[in-house]
A and B are shown apart, each in its own frame.
Chain A
């Protein structure tokens, strides 16, 4: 059974550009969550989607947005990139509703903003 797949694995963007990251959850998983991880702030929750609806949201500016498609695949977008957006972006999917049994994380997308 394939795990959570995130693409691309590495990305370099210029300040002011926008970026779209993709996440394919484990087959059958309907919940997808996104996190940002930096050395200084640790793991920070961005948002969670379930059946194409956002049901939890972290404390990030509106430049960070996401969506989920009918096949549960999810994308997150960051507009007007800032240097501080450089981070490891992680996606996680849940086997059962509401996190019971834990989430399964992907390898992440390493975004560098120059």
Chain B
């Protein structure tokens, strides 16, 4: 299972773009990258998932370079309600085993 490394915490201000980078140097050929968001006392919420290049949805963008050894979650124009913990998971969707590793995540604080 690919190990991931994320910053423990980040600060930002309302209206700014936030980029959270996740390192996964030993990512395997069949591995996908999945990001979740979690608010206190709630279950994580799926944000975005990708394999290579760029994926965009109504919430965020995911940038994955050609070597796939890292990925960047981009949150455009954050608001106070984006204050949460963000988790990066890497693994083979065919086995589902990547679900076993959530890690500590990145605590994002958005200030007014």
- A interface, CB within 8 angstroms of B: 4, 31, 33, 35, 42-45, 48, 55-56, 58, 88, 90-92, 98-108, 110
Residue in A56, A105, A108 whose beta carbon sits within 8 Å of that of B45 in the complex:
A105
| Cβ-closest chain A residue relative to B105 | A42
Q: Are B42 and A108 in contact (CB under 8 A)?
A: yes
Using an 8 Å CB-CB cutoff, how does the interface string of B89-101 with A read, 1 for contact, 0 for none? 0000111111111
- Do A56 and B42 touch (CB < 8 A)? no
- Who on chain B is nearest to A4 by CB? B43
Contact check, A102 vs B46: say whether CB atoms are below 8 A apart: yes
The smallest beta-carbon distance between B60 and chain A, in angstroms, is 12
On chain A, the residues within 8 Å of B109 by CB distance are none
Asked if A43 and B42 make an inter-chain contact with CB atoms under 8 angstroms apart, the answer reads: no
Q: In the complex, A55→B96 CA distance in Å? A: 9
Q: Among B45, B49, B102, which residue has its beta carbon within 8 angstroms of that of A43? A: B102
